Amino acid sequence: MTAQLPILQVIVPLLAAPICAVLRHGRAATWLAVLASWSALAIAVVLLGQVMAGGVVSYHIGDWVPPIGIEYRVDIVNAWVLVIVASIGAVVAPYSVTSVEHEIASRRIPLFYAAYLLCLSGLLGITITGDMFNVFVFLEISSLSAYALISLGRPRRALTAAYRYLIMGSVGATFIVIGIGLLYVMTGSLNMADLAELLPGVWDSRTVKVAYGFLGVGVCLKLALFPLHLWLPNAYAFAPSPVTAFMASTATKVAVYMLLRFFLSIFGAAFSFDVMALDRVLLPLALVAVVSMSLVAIFQVDVKRLLAYSSVAQIGYMILGLSFASVTGLTATLLHLFNHALMKGALFMALGCVVYRIGSVHIDAMAGLGKRMPWTMAAFVVGGLSLVGVPLTVGFISKWYLILGALEKGGPWIAVAVLVLVTSVMALVYVWRVVEAAYLREFSGDEATREAPLSLLAPTWILVAANLYFGIDAVRTAGVARQAAEVLMAGIGS
């Protein structure tokens, strides 16, 4: 049974999705989705344990030996990402029970859960597979369901946001297919481990470099790296609350994982940094993303949109860590994958509680909410502090490693460390604007406004608690992230 875990990781939510769709009964579909996402988390945790204990787990689908057959290959890097995606999926599923009933028409609820599970299985599939074309297939499964999920948002602008994401996302996915095709022309293989062995022989060819470019642009579209982020703010702002919480914490993280897997494992760190100068391409983009998007976030009045711009800035931090081209920098990237999932998940879920009660996340509508919804706003404050990077929260751990990585390199990189601090202050500004409205202004809304129901607060506070727990005891997370960074940077001196 345990030998089948890698395939079950994907199959369980994938099979639960159509069952949800045909159930046509809101409650039944809901609990099936919760059950499927929890079992996905259990499988991911067991897989991580297996990998930590015994090294790489390789699963041959249908017993076809790779590179002919499709291989699922779990090493410390994707076991880590699987746990991130599955745990967010498992927390958001029970949260959406109450939230979805409020935000989505009841006849669409089974379909919502079908799309949700498809999106989850697509993201898990991208992460677990060891086959390039399989990545593309799962990418499209997750993307197509994500378009549908976003379009379920109440405001009609959710439709245009989903449409724009569809166009840009499809272009990105097509670029990835072109890249995969060019690699296949040069090597005759689609298996990642096999490609990693074959590619050094053809490094010099222009085709491989063009493939590198196509894959890079395609993945960067998916992960919303500045300036390819234009689809993201509206998609996050107008999607239903649980969808925003889920997408913000998982979709871009998986895209970052794809970037790391393609460029560091398959092409190899040596090729990426020495031949293609990946670090010098990504560094300016990451810095511009962090600074400009933090600045834009400060001037937003829609809090969901404010956090969406902040997400683009936070993706900048992840790419910044990668552009250090060092183990410490990469550790910061991998840590921030996990930490950002926790903080953005908590923040967007707190906003979902606000939407549930007052129906708006406009900053003026949230005035005085601190007294009316103390637990919700307390969750927002903790998440916000984590976003800023205050000690005792996970945000601090990410920033710590990021600055450590910059100082390690010394010289002009000190300026990067300073910039990280400056942008943290900018994060403080935009978080403060919300806090100021919620706590220092008078409440002017409906007198009957009460605290959000426990079914929303409990999942939110699970993530908030995780923000604090992993902020205080970062030994385990930092250990796994460092181990993963060392695997990815293998073959290049730290």
156 binding other proteins? (CB under 8 A):
yes
List 79, 166, 308, 312, residue binding other proteins (CB under 8 A)? 166
**Cβ nearer to other proteins, comparing 44 with 211:** 211
Shortest CB 491 distance to other proteins, Å = 29
CA 100 to chain CA centroid, nearest Å: 21
Is 266 within 8 Å of 134 (Cβ atoms)? no
Omega of the bond leading into 110 within 30 degrees of 0 (cis): no
Q: Is 302 helix (H, G, I), strand (E, B) or coil?
A: strand
209 binding other proteins? (CB under 8 A):
no
Angle among Cα 344, 437, 235 to the nearest 5 degrees reads 35
List 22, 35, 105, 185, residue binding other proteins (CB under 8 A)? 185
**Cα separation of 386 and 399, whole Å?**
10
**Which residue stretch of 150-158, 194-202, 223-231, 261-269 sits at the interface with other proteins (rule: CB under 8 A)?**
150-158
Is 471 within 8 Å of 396 (Cβ atoms)? yes
270 binding other proteins? (CB under 8 A):
no
205 binding other proteins? (CB under 8 A):
no
Is 84 within 8 Å of 256 (Cβ atoms)? no
202 binding other proteins? (CB under 8 A):
no
Shortest CB 364 distance to other proteins, Å = 10
170 binding other proteins? (CB under 8 A):
yes
List 42, 178, 198, 428, residue binding other proteins (CB under 8 A)? 178
**Which residue stretch of 144-152, 308-316, 342-350, 394-402 sits at the interface with other proteins (rule: CB under 8 A)?**
144-152
**Cβ nearer to other proteins, comparing 151 with 467:** 151
157 binding other proteins? (CB under 8 A):
yes
- H or E stretch including 74? strand 71-74
171 binding other proteins? (CB under 8 A):
yes
Residue by residue, DSSP assigns 34-71 as: HHHHHHHHHHHHHHHHHHHHH--EEEEGGGPPTTTS-E
Contacts of 291 (CB under 8 A, 6+ apart): 313, 419, 422, 423, 426
**Cα separation of 184 and 191, whole Å?**
10
**Cβ nearer to other proteins, comparing 166 with 192:** 166
**Which residue stretch of 148-156, 264-272, 413-421, 440-448 sits at the interface with other proteins (rule: CB under 8 A)?**
148-156
181 binding other proteins? (CB under 8 A):
yes
Residue by residue, DSSP assigns 122-183 as: HHHHHHHB-BHHHHHHHHHHHHHHHHHHHHTSSSTHHHHHHHHHHHHHHHHHHHHHHHHHHH
**Cβ nearer to other proteins, comparing 74 with 162:** 162
Q: C-alpha distances in angstroms, 42 versus 32, 51, 77, 249?
A: 15, 14, 18, 19
210 binding other proteins? (CB under 8 A):
no
Eight-class DSSP state of 364 = T
Other CB atoms within 10 Å distance of the CB of residue 447: 6
Task: Kindly identify the residues of this chain, within the stretch 338-377, that bind other proteins according to CB under 8 A.
Answer: 362
**Cβ nearer to other proteins, comparing 127 with 142:** 142
**Cβ nearer to other proteins, comparing 145 with 460:** 145
Cβ-in-10-Å burial (0-12, 13-18, 19+) of 15 comes to middle
Smallest CA-to-CA distance from 219 within 193, 257, 162 is with 257
**Cβ nearer to other proteins, comparing 139 with 199:** 139
Q: What are the φ and ψ backbone dihedral angles of 60, each rounded to 5 degrees?
A: -100, 115
Task: Kindly identify the residues of this chain, within the stretch 284-313, that bind other proteins according to CB under 8 A.
Answer: none
144 binding other proteins? (CB under 8 A):
yes
230 binding other proteins? (CB under 8 A):
no
Q: Which residues, in sequence order, are bridge partners of residue 129?
A: 72
**Cβ nearer to other proteins, comparing 143 with 423:** 143
**Which residue stretch of 3-11, 40-48, 118-126, 159-167 sits at the interface with other proteins (rule: CB under 8 A)?**
159-167
List 159, 281, 291, 295, residue binding other proteins (CB under 8 A)? 159
Kindly list the residues in this chain that would bind other proteins in the complex (CB under 8 A): 133, 136-137, 140, 144, 147-148, 151, 156-157, 159-160, 162-163, 166-167, 170-171, 174, 177-178, 181, 184-185, 362
